[in-house]
Structure 1
Amino acid sequence: MSSSERPEVIEKEVKEKDYKEEDKDEEKGGFVDKVKGFIHAIGEKIEEAIGFGKPTADVSAIHIPHIDLHRAEFVVDVHVTNPNPVPIPLVDIDYLVESDGRKLVSGLIPDAGTIRAHGSETVKIPVKLVYDDIKNTYDDIKEGSIIPYKIKVDLIVDVPVFGRITIPLEKTGEIPIPYKPDVDLGKIEFNKFSFEETVATLHVKLENMNDFDLGLNALDYEIWLSDVSIGSAELSKATTIEKKGNSVVQIPITFRPKDFGSAIWDMIRGRGTGYTMKGNIHVDTPFGPMKLPFSKEGGTTRLKKNNEEGIDDDDEEIYVDFDAAC
């Protein structure tokens, strides 16, 4: 063969070799793709046949079973649905409560239970807000105010096929920082006056310093004049004390003035004597029922008549007047 023909032969051999290599790569790639596709199809068929899927969840409700001047207790209801044919465990529940981007409280609940196969469960997350902790951390949060909150919940579940999954949830709302009511005893109006038994009516002024209405349902109290208890009782009384407003409640009471000793004579002579009143008001609020304690000490009491004369005229109204507290 002449030297001029060799390049053509060599080039042909190289082209044939390159063609064979490309053909092998195509055959190899096609086989791998077919295997992957087969495995994927088998996986989908298995998943479809067995019924594995990702669980779903949402915050169905938030309850406030207890709230008072010191703390608020939440219960967050999280409804979780499991579409799988086997139970799935709740590995962890991580929660955070914040207000305007500021952390109020957070916590972690490990091993929170199991969601049954092809079923759903309501998981309850207890949360406690201590008002002193909040007020000590954030000076601008004042008693009597209403603050916004956001609850963030991360549910971590372990699902076959998928592994561990985190389901993030959020819910917003408002919570009050209650302010205890201010109580003043304006006067005691006597319906029947005698040293053995006196029937009277207490005129009690309740002032609501909160940014929300108080629906007064009941009031329990005990009152002392000159360190002598003149009675205690629980009164059912329905009235509404509007936010930043006040209301006067009339409370009937029966007592024996002769038990006061010298204190009753000081009142009659106009010298006055101190008083103390303590108790609780039971109210409804937009956030649930509350039991709010009150205490009032001091003041000066004087026995008077409307005509400012003696106390022996049965036709005149006799009452005990209470000056401003000391």
Structure 2
Amino acid sequence: MREGWRKYKLLTSLSSSAQLDFLTRAMASDDKPEVAERVTRGKDHEEEKEEDKGGFIDKVKDFIQDIGEKIEGAIGFGKPTADVSGVHFPHIDLHKAEVIVDVLVKNPNPVPIPLIDINYLIESDGRKLISGLIPDAGTIRAHGSETVKIPVNVIYDDIKSTYKDIKPGSIIPYIVKVDLIIDVPVIGRITIPLQKTGEIPVPYKPDIDVEKIHFERFSFEETTATLKLKLENKNDFDLGLNALDYEVWLGDENIGGTELQKSAKLEQNGITHMDLPISFRPKDFGSALWDMIRGRGTGYTMKGNIDVDTPFGAMKLPISKEGGTTRLKKKKDDGSYDDDDDED
């Protein structure tokens, strides 16, 4: 008994590999082959059990996959499709561009599918202009399609302060990247990557000068005149003028203004001349007007807005001129007066 216990302790003190080697040698040197046969049979039986176990798991996996495919085929589940169908600029001014990205999503499934998240990025020449995340973006109806609108505001001051080479009046290329994260029954959560390229303007206000004021009728009760205007479009794209509004000051006195429909094409980086009518009552104004009548120069200011069409949509751009000097010249033969414009 003690000898057996000693041998057991000696065996257990060996490493696992040494124990295995010892047992293997013991079985190999045993004079009783039936013991080795039993061990071999036991080993074969264990391997058969493992094979049966592995085969059972594989059969379960195959069964589940087969059932899933049959359910998917019978009910008609499939992956939705999507495309960036358009990029619009509903409003552009000197400060920002409002951008709407239209994404058309089609759902072939018999049940509505939820849009989990929408990730978007707008970049230009590899540089990020703006990015964001829209969570819980809605649901796409069963066997239908929806246009998902992604609203984005591109702030020009942020762009120009970050990238010094982007100048007012320029056109820059862009690429819109969108990731739609959708939860589809049976299939699970999927991500659909989309992108679209285009161009976005960085508008600049036109320069304006009053080259001359042509007085058609001059009296203290009612004076009518025509402003000889020069507009310089400093943008790299044409402006189609539709309307404008303006006011004029002589010195500190507002002599009036008007709104009118006016059609003209302001070519890119070009100069356009136009005539604008104005009327006022001189007796209602102060010394600035009298200085002009006496032949002395007086300062003038003009401010307003122009409504224009562009390749990117409609814009409303400000126009202004401050610091100009004007004086009334001698009366002409036709009874009208001309006014010189001297810029400071």
- Residue 340 of structure 2, aligned match among 289, 300, 321: 321
Matching residue of 1:64: 89
Does structure 1 retain, via aligned residues, the 8 Å contact 2:218–2:336?
no
Q: List aligned pairs for 1:157-236, cutoff 5 A.
A: 157-236=182-261
Q: Secondary structure at the match of 1:180?
A: coil
Q: Are positions 1:258 and 2:258 aligned together?
A: no
* 1:31 to partner: Cα distance: 6.8
The C-alpha deviation readout for 1:106-157, integer Å capped at 9, x for no partner, is 1111111111111111111100000000001111100000001111111111
Find the structure with the greater CA-based Rg.
2
- Aligned-partner SS, 1:271: coil
Structure-2-length-normalised TM-score? 0.83
Q: Distance in 2 between matches of 1:100 and 1:256?
A: 56
Matched position secondary structure for 1:323: strand
- 1:219: how far off? 0.9
Which residues of structure 1 form unaligned runs of 5+? 1-12, 305-310
Distance 2:156 2:52 in 1: 72
Partner of 2:284, secondary structure, is helix
SS at match of 2:165: coil
Q: Secondary structure at the match of 2:73?
A: helix
**Residue 108 (1) aligns with residue 133 (2):** yes
Structure 1 residue 258: Cα displacement: 2.7
- Please state how far the C-alpha of 1:23 moved relative to its aligned partner: 9.1
Letter in 2 for 1:163: G
Q: Counterpart of 1:9?
A: none
SS of alignment partner, residue 99 of structure 2? strand
Q: CA RMSD in A?
A: 2.7
The ranges of structure 1 where at least 4 consecutive aligned residues each deviate by more than 6 angstroms after the TM superposition are 15-32
Query: Counterpart in 1 of 2:298?
Result: 273
Identity of aligned residues (%): 73
Deviates most, 60-69 or 33-42: 33-42
1:25-36 residue pairs with structure 2 within 5 A?
36=61
Measured after TM superposition, the shift of residue 37 of structure 1 is: 4.3
How many correspondences in the alignment? 314
Deviations 1:257-315, CA, capped at 9 Å, x for gaps: 233333333223322100010100111010111000122111211111xxxxxx45552
Distance 1:273 1:121 in 2: 62
Conserved? CA contact 1:226–1:260, under 8 Å: no
Asked if 1:298 is matched to 2:317, the reply is: no
Counterpart amino acid of residue 72 in structure 1: A
1:45 aligned residue: 70
TM-score, normalised on structure 1?
0.87
Runs of 5+ unmatched residues, structure 2:
1-37
Instruction: Tell me the residue number matched to 1:288.
Output: 313
Distance 1:21 1:258 in 2: 117
1:68 CA drift (Å): 0.2
Indicate the residue corresponding to 1:7 in structure 2.
Answer: none
